[in-house]
Amino acid sequence: MKGFLNRTFRLRPREMGIVLVLGLVLLCNSVAVQVSGIVSISNFLSEGGVNNFLIVWLIDDLLILLMAGLQSLIVDRFERISLMRGMTFGFALIFTFLRLMFIFQIPGWLNYSLLYLVAEQQELFVPLTFWILANDIFDMAQTKRLFPLIASWGFAGKLLGIGFSAVAPDLFARLDIKSEEMLTLNILVYLLVYLLILGGLRKVQVRKTRHKRETVRETLTEGWGFVREVPSFRYLTLAIIALNLCDIIIGFRFYVVSDAVFSDPSSYQRFLSFYRLGLTLAALFLQSFLTSRIINRISLQNTFLIMPCAVLAGVTWMIALPGIVSGTGALVLQRLTGTTVDESARKAFQALVPEERRGRVSMFMDSYLPSMGTIIGSLVTGAIVLVGLRLHSTSYFYAYLAVAVVAALFAIWAILKMRTVYDSSLLNWRLKRRQRATSVLNTAIFKALSDEDN
């Protein structure tokens, strides 16, 4: 059986145990994220209204910028496993506090908006720290081979979380249990993750890095300086901002059309659960069996074209045939490509960054840049909605969908430019490892080995 699994998933000696532990950590976090996200969205739309969701998104990304700034100060200064362990225990405490808020009967709109904000931090910062740790455990060749497999555990966790959220309304109604009791599940999940990391990774060798003493300003600007001076990273950051602007517009349109059809919180929770179930099943198949092969077949730099083309197709569909079918389909295209091929490609791409600055660069690319795109998207969409409501228009949604078309085309242009400078960027001085040979010859050898894997 072990030999069969090794051949099927292309595992090599001593990799199975590490992959199993990392996969379980990702699975547990995905369960908790789905429970938090589905419950918070379903109830907030009922109590706060869909247009107010733009305000929550804006607050969410301002909070992400603040938290990312704080985390960037410590991400490269602490041992990776200890940092991951402390973060998971911290989320267990946060959900305990949220459960107490429901006990003391704080207004529902506030409770569910806070729950949504916490869910977004779960979905961003736990995987961000997780993949930084994984990049320090595996080398570049291993990341392209193993990361899609490890990420598939995250999709399995989504299935469990979605399945529980789908049956919870009926089950809790029969047992006369309030929906906020689902927070207790999250508390237990993060305590389990803490124990997994404590016991399962204690003997894992993580690459040691040296860090010079830096001021706060130097730490916060490290990521920006890196992407500004490495051309391939610079163009990729432009695409990330544009695609996250599209994400807000597509997501907002999806909530508008779906909320009009499902007005009851329980029915909306079931709809959202089944939507996420279908999306996750498709993503699980794609991530487990095709993503790694797609990256190797068309090469890493070409993989980044898939998501913006899918986004453009989805937005065009929403413009041509407005309604819940096109709204759901466009979101599926965007999320399916984003959470599988594009995310795996970005994680593998970030493995080029030296260990000494990888945490700060990853933080910048995976939190600052998406937040910038989301903030811009929320402000632009909100302004269009306000003008449309003031003019008593029923078709103002075409305006923000047109903005999404322009942003998707811009992202395609940025990726095409990134492809033209990809090879030359590999020789940039910022990609040299401080703890390895630093000659141009070694950099060329590293590139040759990467090309051989492709």
Is 5 part of any domain?
Answer: no
Of the pLDDT bands very low, low, confident and very high (cuts 50, 70, 90), residue 422 is confident
pLDDT at position 445: 36
**Residue 208 domain flag:** no
Name which residue leads in pLDDT, 3 or 89.
89
| Higher pLDDT, residue 70 or 390 | 390
Residue 444, pLDDT > 50, answer no
Of 70-74, 169-173, 409-413, 448-452, the least confident: 448-452
Q: What is the pLDDT of residue 28?
A: 92
Residue 267 pLDDT: 86
Q: pLDDT band for position 333 (50/70/90)? A: very high
Q: Is pLDDT above 90 for 235?
A: yes
- The mean pLDDT value for 282-300 works out to 85
The two tokens of residue 355 are 């260990």
Please tell me the predicted confidence (pLDDT) of residue 75: 66
Nearest to 219 by CA among 79, 349, 361: 361
| pLDDT greater at residue 403 or residue 288 | 403
User: Over the stretch 18-32, which tens digit does the pLDDT of each residue have?
Assistant: 888 888 999 999 999
Average the pLDDT over each of 3-12, 219-228, 328-337 and give the range with the smallest value: 3-12
**Residue with the larger pLDDT of the pair 438 and 312:** 312
pLDDT band, very low/low/confident/very high, at 443 (cuts 50, 70, 90) = very low
Given this model, what pLDDT does residue 73 score? Answer: 67
Identify whether 179 is part of a domain.
Answer: yes
In the predicted model, is pLDDT for residue 429 greater than 70?
no
As a whole-number percent, the residues of the chain with pLDDT over 90 amount to 30
What is the per-residue pLDDT for 409?
98
Residues 277 and 158: their CA atoms lie apart, in Å, by: 8
Per-residue model confidence as pLDDT tens digits over 362-416: 777 887 888 899 999 999 999 999 999 999 888 999 999 999 999 999 999 999 9
Does pLDDT of 54 surpass 70?
A: yes
Q: What's the rounded Cα separation, in Å, for the pair 31 and 161? A: 4
Determine the Cα–Cα distance for residues 252 and 334; give it in Å rounded to an integer.
13
The arithmetic mean of pLDDT across residues 76-99, rounded, is: 86
pLDDT of residue 434: 45
**8 found inside a domain:** no
Give me the pLDDT at residue 365, please: 84
pLDDT tens-digit map of 188-218:
999 999 998 888 787 776 766 555 555 546 6
Q: Which residues, in sequence order, are CB contacts of 286 under 8 Å at separation 6+?
A: 336, 340, 341
Domain membership of residue 193 (yes or no) is: yes
Count of structural domains, the chain: 1
Tell me which residue range forms the domain holding 115.
13-199+217-453
Higher per-residue pLDDT: 360 or 449: 360
Confidence (pLDDT) at 307 = 95
Q: What integer is the mean pLDDT of 222-240?
A: 86
Reported as a pLDDT band with limits 50, 70 and 90, residue 453 is: very low
The HSE-up count of residue 66 (CA atoms within 13 Å, CB side) is 7
Distance of alpha carbon 127 from the chain centroid = 7
> Is residue 139 in some structural domain?
yes
The CATH number of whichever domain residue 415 belongs to comes to: 1.20.1250.20
Please state the three-class secondary structure of the chain as a single string.
CHHHHHHHCCCCCCCHHHHHHHHHHHHHHHHHHHHHHHHHHHHHHHHHCCCCHHHHHHHHHHHHHHHHHHHHHHCCCCCHHHHHHHHHHHHHHHHHHHHHHHHCCCCHHHHHHHHHHHHHHHHHHHHHHHHHHHHHHCCHHHHHHHHHHHHHHHHHHHHHHHHHHHHHHHHHHHHCCCHHHHHHHHHHHHHHHHHHHHHHCCCCCCCCCCCCCCCHHHHHHHHHHHHHHCHHHHHHHHHHHHHHHHHHHHHHHHHHHHHHHCCCHHHHHHHHHHHHHHHHHHHHHHHHHCHHHHHHHHCHHHHCCHHHHHHHHHHHHHHHCCCHHHHHHHHHHHHHHHHHHHHHHHHHHHCCCCHHHHHHHHHHHHHHHHHHHHHHHHHHHHHHHHHHHHCCCCCCHHHHHHHHHHHHHHHHHHHHHHHHHHHHHCCCHHHCCCCCCCCHHHHHHHHHHHHHHC
For the cut 90, the answer to whether the pLDDT of residue 253 exceeds it is yes
Q: Mean pLDDT of all residues in the chain?
A: 82
Residue 134 domain-assigned (yes or no): yes
- Per the domain annotation, does 165 fall within a domain? yes
Q: What is the mean pLDDT of residues 27-41?
A: 89
What is the per-residue pLDDT for 76? 66
Instruction: Pick the more confident residue, 445 or 375.
Output: 375
Of 219, 212, 207, nearest to 368 by C-alpha is: 219
Spatial contact of 327 and 247, defined as CB atoms under 8 Å apart? no
What's the rounded Cα separation, in Å, for the pair 304 and 168? 38
Residue 432 has pLDDT above 70, yes or no: no
State the maximum Cα–Cα separation within the chain, in Å, rounded to a whole number: 68
For the stretch 118-154, pLDDT in tens is: 988 888 788 888 888 888 887 667 777 788 788 888 8
Q: Phi then psi for 340, rounded to 5 degrees?
A: -115, -90
